């Protein structure tokens, strides 16, 4: 289960990339993404432009949280004495 959030984030980034490449301003109804329960209503709602905006914000926030978590873990390991 530990690998799931990173996989979901990569999937969301891939979807966003495709939308940007096609200059598409709405999220297709067929899009099924796991970016968190908080975003479910916006992603599943009838306003597909709002759904795309919600996916964009959710993806960026998840990316920020993931990179901050990784940076924190690196900093914690840097404080540990080297093992022989």
The answer to whether position 83 is within a domain reads no
Please state the domain count of the chain. Answer: 1
- For Cα atoms 45, 37, 44, give the angle at the middle one, nearest 5 degrees: 15
Q: Residue 19 is part of which domain span? A: 4-77
Q: Give the pTM.
A: 0.73
The answer to whether position 84 is within a domain reads no
Could you state, in chain order, the average pLDDT of each consecutive group of 10 residues for the chain (84 residues)? 66 93 94 88 94 95 84 65 56
Selection from 1, 14, 4 nearest residue 31 by Cα: 14
The answer to whether position 15 is within a domain reads yes
């Amino acid at each position: 289960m530990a690998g799931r959030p990173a996989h979901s984030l990569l999937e969301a980034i891939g979807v966003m990339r495709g939308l940007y490449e096609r200059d598409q301003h709405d999220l297709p109804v067929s899009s099924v993404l796991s970016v968190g329960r908080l975003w479910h209503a916006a992603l599943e709602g009838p306003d597909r432009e709002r759904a795309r905006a919600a996916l964009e914000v959710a993806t960026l926030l998840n990316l920020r949280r993931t990179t901050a978590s990784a940076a924190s873990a690196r900093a914690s390991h840097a404080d540990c004495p080297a093992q022989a």
